[in-house]
A = this chain, B = another copy of it.
């Protein structure tokens, strides 16, 4: 490391640029009086080398499809990213930096996709960005294998990550790293900012493992370098780029809060402003003008401007390639560009199945499988898999191949659990392994990479494992489809560890997540139709393990009512009913039968199927009032899940038939009956409510 020099005496240009990143970050954190200066100060050198010499992007078009992706997994170091976006011309202004962490600014505390041009994913909760990056690298490989043709590498980019100690302590990153190694994602390169200091302590206290050896065990290329040394970083990145058979981890030793006379290498540099005096002292140590705020030396700016110039050239070259590709492969090019725009092929929904009671009772997971068999053909960029539960979730895209590295002589040929069809990265079935959290983070990364519509499946109970990543998908509006089967205590013998109870309520509580629990096979078709079309966030499909009736749509309302979230399935008569039964999923057929018995006894009953609270809430008040007339207070909800939240629909006067404790191990029909989900019990409850409300 060079010692600090007098800025005005012609400091080394690299150092000048690096210190510009550092001081911008320091000043923004100090002005906000909030934030994390330490990481930008320590990681500025390697970020500078990456952004100016390796990362391929066009600041004038942050959405250029063949750009390299950059993920700041250590999102608390957001000022590092904002400084780079500002300096390299992505459209951030000095004013944006000066409003770091302020209301309405484009520079929030942690990077948020959609808010700031050039921010690829929303990060901050540790480990998530790492998982997203694995998903981006997977999407790149799939698109390349699917769309590239000889001499026309229309998809040809890398995913770079800066990750912190904290990222690599998190299990989600461990899961994603193991899968990345297994999949030999050679286009993924992680700079590990090994500063050995976390928020509360040095990592010696709790993180003494050999991270490099661990990643080697996953099958990664591992290099250890001085992360403050520009040339070492450059060489390591070049070596990483040269190994396309393995993902790369560059263990870069850095100094948190570098240059701060009193805080370097301490946890005090991690998450608080340096303080005014220490800011001055640090700038003095850099040879920086002490009193300058948000200062960008012109020489440094000229150097950063080259990023834009080079990016524009590369982008232009790619557009040239794309023109040739369009000419040579017009159909493929059309499909490629449609996928990148996130559009669906025309007629994608044609041929989706229509079921009748003659099909026999059918689990909605099986109806889902029938839908997916059609979508496998009509939505060619539907790509995904399960966390080792295909035989149970029924989510394999048969004949569409397995997403696997091709031609690996040292790998035992897999003999089981495979989809058949094309091998290699063009396969559309991803084997996530028993890594639900990693799966969810990867799906978000795939969605935000663009070009694919990702799905992931597991049991509904295990959505808990995915939850931190679901939240970020919802926050960043990723279009992902989650298929959650085994949706209630009715799954039976596996018992309470596997029986979801509170999951449906807790997922409904999450903003931006659209949840659908279809009542039968035809509602499942409609739910999938909505899931494929939806924009603005992820969609969760909640499906049964057990067989349930296919409702006879000649006697009840059509299943396309799913699109409105809730609809009147059957009514005793015209006009306002005396009683409303509201049910979802497998309990709708029970409620319907109870309704029929009540009607036979002369009750003016109505039964409402409510597959999606979110869609229903988005309807106009008139529609909601027509389905659930405000004056009708005799209401009974029936859902084999936590009653939590159902007062929204039944109020203080109605009754909620739910499960307010954990499940039990026994055959599904036994558990359902013991927990009160019988037609008789619904009828009896309805009568009680009617009597109570009448009083």
Which A residues contact B (CB, under 8 angstroms)?
Answer: 32, 34-35, 75, 101-105, 108-110, 112, 122-126, 165-166, 169-175, 178-179, 181-182, 197-214, 216-219, 266-267, 271, 386, 388-392, 402, 404, 411-418, 431-435, 437-438, 461-462, 464-465, 467-468, 471-472, 474-475, 492-498, 501-502, 505-506, 508-512, 630, 633, 642, 644-645, 647-648, 651-653, 660-662, 664-667, 670-671, 674
Contact = CB atoms under 8 A, between A and B. Distances in A.
Nearest to A34: B493
B388 A199 contact: yes
15 contacts: A101-B666, A102-B665, A103-B667, A109-B495, A109-B665, A125-B462, A170-B465, A199-B388, A201-B418, A205-B431, A214-B218, A505-B505, A511-B662, A645-B647, A647-B647
A169 B173 CA distance: 12
A169 B178 contact: yes
A349 B465 CA distance: 37
Nearest to A659: B511
Contacts of A492: 34
A493 B109 contact: yes
A495 B112 contact: yes
A209 B217 contact: yes
B108 A495 contact: yes
A252 B207 CA distance: 27
Contacts of A667: 34, 101-103
Contacts of A170: 171, 175, 434-435, 465
Nearest to A510: B502
B414 A201 contact: yes
B109 A169 contact: no
B509 A662 contact: no
Nearest to A267: B416
B642 A509 contact: yes
A201 B112 CA distance: 37
A665 B124 CA distance: 12
Contacts of A437: 171, 437
Contact of A175 (B122, B169, B182, B433): B169
A497 B647 contact: no
A635 to B, nearest CB: 10
Given A209-B182, A506-B505, A103 B200 contact: no
* Interface residue SS majority, chain A: loop
A199 B392 contact: yes
Given A411-B208, A505-B509, A648-B647, A389 B199 contact: yes
A661 B209 contact: no
Contacts of A266: 416
Contacts of A171: 170-175, 435, 437-438
Contacts of A501: 511
Nearest to A499: B109
A85 to B, nearest CB: 16
A502 to B, nearest CB: 4
A81 to B, nearest CB: 14
Contact of A110 (B199, B495, B630): B495
Given A34-B493, A110-B498, A475-B496, A179 B206 contact: yes
Instruction: Say how many copies of this protein the assembly contains.
Output: 2
Most interface-central of A125, A166, A198, A205 (chain B CB within 10 A): A205
B101 A417 contact: no
A651 B646 CA distance: 10
Contact of A214 (B110, B203, B217, B462): B217
Contacts of A209: 178, 181-182, 217-219
A471 B502 CA distance: 10
A205 B433 CA distance: 8
Contacts of A642: 509, 511
B200 A169 contact: no
Nearest to A199: B388
A182 B207 CA distance: 6
A119 to B, nearest CB: 12
A198 B181 CA distance: 19
Contact of A472 (B199, B468, B495, B497): B497
Nearest to A268: B416
A108 B667 CA distance: 11
A424 to B, nearest CB: 14
A172 B438 CA distance: 11
A21 to B, nearest CB: 21
Nearest to A471: B464
A112 B630 CA distance: 45
A202 B414 contact: yes
Contacts of A271: 391-392
Nearest to A173: B171
A106 to B, nearest CB: 10
B103 A666 contact: yes
Given A32-B493, A206-B432, A267-B417, 6 more contacts: A75-B497, A171-B171, A505-B644, A506-B506, A506-B510, A630-B652
Contact of A201 (B126, B214, B416): B416
Contact of A388 (B174, B198, B216, B512): B198
Contacts of A648: 647
Contacts of A174: 171, 174-175
A75 B495 CA distance: 11
Contacts of A506: 502, 505-506, 509-510
Most interface-central of A108, A217, A434, A670 (chain B CB within 10 A): A434
Given A206-B431, A493-B34, A509 B388 contact: no
Contacts of A644: 505, 508-509, 644-645
A506 B386 CA distance: 24
Given A175-B171, A218-B214, A205 B404 contact: yes
Nearest to A107: B665
A415 B202 contact: yes
Most interface-central of A204, A388, A664 (chain B CB within 10 A): A388
Contact of A205 (B207, B418, B438, B652): B418
